[in-house]
A and B are shown apart, each in its own frame.
Chain A
Amino acid sequence: MVMDYARSCYSANFIFRTGDPAIVTAWSFADPGARLFPYWHSCDSKNWQDHEYQAGDIGEQDQVQLWLPGTPLSRGRPTYNCIGIEDWWTGGIPIGMLAPPVDVNGVPLCCTAERPCVCAGGNLPDTLTLTFTDGCFATVGVTVTLTRNPGSCQWTGSAELNFLVGLFTATLSFAGPQASACSISFTVVGSAGDSSGYAVADDSSQCSPLAITFTDVDPGLHVPCTYFDIVIST
């Protein structure tokens, strides 16, 4: 997400809550096509501003600490989840507010997770189970557990399916709760890391049970014992 325009990246001290000590924070270049932060905020770059600081300032505090190459973040991409409370971005995090849960890198989960699920109900569980109900004999009855980070719209999981070379059709049933009117896409990536040759049809009009059919339309591309990465997104 784009917070400001700058020619170079650097690290500088930031304050996110009045009274808190400054934290060294690094600027990174946004990915191409990244969207703009949609609200007014105080976390802009003040490197080229004729700016002075006053007590209680939120955001960047002082001079450049270290010039950086601005390599895009490697630990996930910021999303829109942390913007739920607009006032925090201009006035800082309220005093007394507990720190949000963070991931192993210390990044708040709300900053790395995807946009909150907005399909009907919006309260789908964090764990879904896919059950193969049709297809080659080796696939029937196989279950795959798909998980997501809280608030994410994407459940991921994988399965090792002993498909034989040749045309096949398998149907997966979605064992989650009723969530009508949501739209779900389904991705299958073969062991070679490509999704070519697989035709995936999903019945997104009725999300529960979700019946997904994928067909190996080019079996010459694929080998037995295909390892699938399965992604379901709303």
Chain B
Amino acid sequence: MANYRGTLFFSFAGPPADGWTEKVDFVAPDNSSAQTIFQQIVTARRYTLSQSIMLSMFKLATVAPKLSAKTTKYFLAQTKIFLSPDVQGGLGFLSVVDTPNAAVLVQVQYNGYSRVGNYQVRGIPDTWWDGGALTPAAQAVNFYFQFLQKIPMQLFHVNRTSGALTIYPMQCSHLQRISSRRTGRPFGQLRGRRRKKVA
């Protein structure tokens, strides 16, 4: 089994135009199988997106993690890129026109509450704010992470004591909170103005 890293490129026509990427690590026996799994990831992700946001480009790479270092860096071996038609990407499936300024923070975990990774899932509709967990978006995100758990998605974790990098399969996920941002501001900035630049 080899490690693969899939990169999904999201684009929003605007205004204002916006875009971001997400990465998913997983294992597969060969390139062909990895491509099939990647396709399934893309499809599952589209169900969490509003129809104004597009999954337009994709990149799949084989990675060789550097297990002995105090870092999550990896050796990148091979890459293949795809456009939307190649892996049937495209606009989101949720029939909501939206801007990508809301995100849900998801913790992905191995073995209970240890080895936690955080994901900001962008592109979810604002209707989640009002409708809560019963909205299609919330259910789709839940399904998406259940699907990633089934693959399973790989979590890169550096042991702070030994410094060794270990890769864990994702075993559970928790939706923590929804956050929003002003255009151009990062997620996670709670409120207020941008920080002043320090000369």
List residues of A whose CB falls within 8 A of some B CB.
Answer: 2-5, 36-37, 39-42, 44, 46, 49-54, 57, 90
Contacts of A52 in B (CB 8 A): 66, 69, 71, 73-75
Contacts of B86 in A (CB 8 A): 36
Indicate whether B31 reaches chain A with its CB closer than 8 angstroms. yes
Q: For the A-B complex with A40-B79, A51-B73, A54-B75 known, give 11 more contacts whose Cβ atoms are closer than 8 Å.
A: A4-B79, A5-B81, A36-B81, A37-B81, A39-B80, A41-B80, A42-B78, A44-B76, A44-B81, A51-B74, A52-B73
CA distance A103 to B75 in the complex (A): 35
Indicate whether B9 reaches chain A with its CB closer than 8 angstroms. yes
B58, closest chain A residue (CB): A5
Q: Is the interface of A mostly helix, strand, loop or mixed?
A: loop
Contact present for B81 and A50 (CB under 8 Å)? no
A-B contact list, 8 entries, CB within 8 Å: A5-B81, A36-B81, A40-B31, A42-B77, A50-B72, A50-B73, A52-B75, A54-B75
Contact present for B75 and A5 (CB under 8 Å)? no
Question: How many residues on chain B are close to A (CB under 8 Å)?
Answer: 21
**Contacts across chains A and B counted by CB atoms under 8 Å:** 50
Indicate whether B91 reaches chain A with its CB closer than 8 angstroms. no
Contacts of B113 in A (CB 8 A): none
Indicate whether B61 reaches chain A with its CB closer than 8 angstroms. yes
A42, closest chain B residue (CB): B78
Indicate whether B115 reaches chain A with its CB closer than 8 angstroms. no
B86, closest chain A residue (CB): A36
Indicate whether B57 reaches chain A with its CB closer than 8 angstroms. yes
Contacts of A57 in B (CB 8 A): 75
User: Which positions 59-92 of chain B face chain A at CB distance < 8 Å?
Assistant: 59, 61, 66, 69, 71-83, 86
Contacts of A54 in B (CB 8 A): 75
A52, closest chain B residue (CB): B73
